């Protein structure tokens, strides 16, 4: 019985240990090289998550969980059109941007906070919005000549402007490929045509220059040939003269050498005797010099030994002193390095805290400005809509009232025409109604004119100017009455006068005057 209990206990312990091993094996997660392992939940340091690139980590059950972020590059096509440069020229810059999740600790932490769980399309959409804005900003800060000519500077500005913005959401910029740069005004195309024209002109200039150089080369070659021929003739003449001169010099040298040989033999015979005497004196002097040199060498060896001993002592002292100074310098250097690292760590910590505070404040101010701007825009839009609606309602009411007034007037005129039995009769009636008002208006126009007296200056001609004026006034009235009768069919009262037909043309010609209407 105790053996069975022991066996059961051993089996239970083995199962427990095996279960723990299985849990450890199952919960230990390894991170491949093309992914980032994000462990979230309760992590050390109070952080929101723990990010690993490569290696592995144990994920505690219940209190922790994990996900992977892919490091695969994402290509984003940006068909940017109509971006304004510094000269207000609209530029088209279609391009392809390659981005991916960054592997630096701060960038991985941003990616874990902002991209974890998003699909690649959603990540690309966020990156595309950021790229559009920053690319327009970069183009707005550059002239179109810089964008078209200095592509490296353009790309550097894109990297400098876009990199920090992408890192805020956990992405890094891998590559920028500008497919083409055009503008709506045709400025870049004009620059290309200008460059091509300049290249053609330069090529034509180069061809003319090469032709000129060829002609110059031919002339120089001909000149060199002629110079070489003349030089050869000169060398030949000089060689002939030099050969003749050398022949004469050689004959003179041989004669001179014969004479010198004779004299040398006599001189040598005398010199041999003197040389023997001189050799004897030299041997005696050399023996004395050797004795003195031996004494000097002995004294020199003693001095050299003494100097070498002193040099050795000085070198030993100098080496010891140098090692002591190096040790002191190493100690001071280690102290300075430790102090510098501590100061740098403290400054980095303070700078990071200040940067985080400034970024948070900037984001808050930006959000507030956006909300205020949207509220102001909405208020302006609502006020404009209200004013437009009020104006429309007012104009619609005025138009409706004018329409009703005209409709009632037309209805009244229709009834008048119907009651009068026709439009002609209705027109006559309306003209008669307006006649008192016309008469009153005419009377009012001349009512305030005062005549003290009227003087008629006839010029002594009798029936002249005055009679002509009266005839013209009387002749103007019948046509007016005729017009009212013909147009309106209205016959004026008799006190205004009546129309009398003109006399026959024959009677008028016989009297020498044209027929005129008269009033009775």
The whole-number mean pLDDT for each consecutive block of 10 residues of the chain, a chain of 520 residues, reads 75 77 74 87 80 83 84 90 84 91 90 88 91 90 83 89 91 89 73 70 79 83 85 84 82 81 76 73 70 69 71 75 77 75 78 79 79 80 82 84 84 80 72 74 69 56 56 55 55 49 46 42
pLDDT of residue 30: 84
Contact 413, 427 (CB under 8 A): no
Q: Output the six-digit token pair for 74.
A: 């994402």
Taking each helix axis from N to C end, the angle separating 423-446 and 465-488, rounded to the nearest 10 degrees, works out to 150
What's phi and psi for 458, nearest 5 deg? -95, -10
Assess contact for 51 and 108: CB atoms under 8 A: yes
pLDDT at position 172: 93
pLDDT score recorded for residue 486:
57
Kind and range of the H or E element at 52?
Answer: strand 49-52
Judge whether 34 lies within some domain.
Answer: yes
With H, G, I as helix, E, B as strand and everything else as coil, classify residue 80: strand
Considering only CA atoms, which of 112, 91, 95 is closest in space to residue 103?
112
- Is residue 63 a part of any domain in this protein? yes
Q: Which two tokens stand for residue 324?
A: 């002591």
How far apart CA 255 and CA 509 sit, in angstroms, is 165
Within a domain: 173: no
Q: CB neighbours (10 Å) of residue 466? A: 14
Chain centroid offset of residue 224 CA: 59
Backbone angles phi, psi at 491, to 5 degrees: -95, 120
Nearest to 127 by CA among 79, 168, 166: 166
Residue 146, in any domain of the structure: no
Q: Could you list the residue range(s) of the whole structural domain that residue 56 is in?
A: 23-71
Q: Show Cβ contacts of residue 66 under 8 Å, excluding neighbours closer than 6 positions.
A: 29, 37, 38, 39, 40, 59
Rounded CA-CA distance 246/254 in Å is: 12
Give the Cα-Cα-Cα angle 496, 499, 501 (nearest 5 degrees). Answer: 165
**Residue 152: is it exposed, middle or buried by C-beta count within 10 angstroms (0-12/13-18/19+)?**
exposed
User: Does residue 224 form part of some domain?
Assistant: no
The model's pLDDT over 252-295, given as tens digits with 9 standing for 90+, comes to 788 888 878 777 777 777 777 777 777 777 776 676 667 667 66
Q: Does the residue 210 lie in any domain? A: no
The CA distances from residue 500 to 475, 482, 496, 515, in Å, are 12, 11, 13, 11
* Measured distance CA(158)–CA(317) in Å, rounded: 63
What does the alpha-carbon distance between residue 351 and residue 359 come to, in Å, rounded to a whole number? 12
Query: Could you report the per-residue pLDDT of 462-516, keeping only the tens digit for each?
Result: 555 555 655 565 555 555 555 555 555 555 555 444 544 444 444 445 544 444 4
Chain centroid to Cα 454, Å, comes to: 90
What does the block give as tokens for 103?
């592997």
Domain count of the fold of the chain: 1
d(C-alpha 344, C-alpha 482), whole Å: 115
Q: Tell whether 154 is covered by a domain.
A: no
Phi-psi region of 175 (alpha: psi -120 to 50; beta: other; left: phi over 0): beta
Measured from the Cβ of residue 463, the count of other Cβ atoms closer than 10 Å reads: 9
Return the number of other C-beta atoms located less than 10 Å from residue 69's C-beta.
22
Question: Does any domain span residue 29?
Answer: yes
Rounded distance, CA 473 to CA 369, Å? 83
């Amino acid at each position: 019985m105790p053996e069975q209990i022991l066996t059961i206990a051993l089996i239970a312990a083995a199962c427990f240990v095996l279960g723990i091993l299985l849990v450890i094996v199952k919960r230990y997660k390894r991170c491949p090289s093309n992914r980032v392992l994000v462990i979230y939940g309760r992590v050390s340091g109070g952080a929101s998550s723990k990010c690993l690139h490569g290696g592995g980590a144990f994920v505690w059950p219940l209190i922790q969980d994990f996900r992977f972020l892919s490091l695969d590059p994402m290509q984003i096509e940006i068909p940017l059109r109509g971006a304004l440069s510094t000269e207000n020229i609209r530029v088209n810059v279609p391009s392809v941007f390659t981005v991916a999740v960054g592997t630096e600790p701060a960038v991985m932490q941003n990616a874990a906070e902002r991209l974890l769980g998003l699909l690649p399309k959603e990540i690309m959409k966020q990156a595309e919005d950021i790229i559009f804005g920053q690319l327009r900003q970069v183009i707005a800060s550059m002239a179109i000549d810089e964008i078209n000519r200095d592509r490296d500077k353009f790309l550097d500005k894109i990297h400098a402007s876009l990199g920090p913005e992408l890192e805020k959401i956990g992405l890094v910029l891998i590559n920028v490929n500008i497919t083409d740069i055009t503008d709506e005004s045709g400025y870049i195309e004009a620059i290309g045509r200008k460059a091509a024209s300049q290249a053609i002109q330069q090529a034509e200039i180069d061809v003319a220059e090469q032709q000129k150089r060829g002609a110059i080369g031919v002339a120089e070659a001909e000149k060199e040939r002629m110079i070489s021929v003349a030089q050869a003739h000169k060398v030949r003449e000089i060689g002939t003269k030099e050969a003749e001169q050398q022949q004469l010099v050689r004959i003179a040298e041989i004669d001179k050498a014969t004479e010198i040989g004779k004299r040398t033999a006599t001189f040598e015979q005398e010199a041999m005797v003197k040389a023997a005497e001189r050799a004897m004196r030299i041997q005696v002097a050399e023996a004395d010099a050797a004795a003195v040199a031996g004494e000097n060498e002995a004294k020199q060896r003693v001095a050299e030994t003494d100097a070498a001993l002193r040099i050795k002592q000085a070198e030993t002292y100098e080496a010891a002193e140098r090692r002591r100074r190096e040790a002191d310098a190493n100690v001071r250097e280690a102290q300075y390095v430790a102090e510098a690292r501590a100061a740098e760590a403290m400054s980095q910590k303070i700078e990071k805290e200040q940067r985080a505070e400034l970024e948070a404040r900037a984001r808050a101010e930006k959000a507030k400005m956006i909300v205020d701007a949207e509220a102001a825009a909405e208020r302006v839009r609502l006020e404009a809509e209200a004013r437009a609606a009020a104006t429309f309602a007012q104009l619609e009411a005025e138009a409706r009232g004018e329409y009703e007034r005209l409709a009632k007037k037309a209805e009244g005129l229709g009834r008048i025409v119907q009651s009068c039995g026709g439009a002609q009769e209705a027109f006559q009636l309306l003209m008669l109604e307006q006649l008192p008002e016309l008469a009153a208006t005419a009377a009012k126009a001349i009512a305030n004119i005062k005549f003290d007296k009227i003087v008629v200056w006839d010029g002594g001609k009798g029936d002249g100017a005055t009679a002509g004026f009266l005839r013209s006034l009387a002749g103007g009235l019948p046509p007016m009455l005729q017009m009212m009768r013909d147009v309106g069919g209205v016959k004026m009262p008799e006190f205004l006068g009546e129309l009398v037909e003109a006399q026959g043309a024959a009677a008028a010609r016989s009297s020498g005057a044209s027929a005129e209407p008269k009033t009775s």
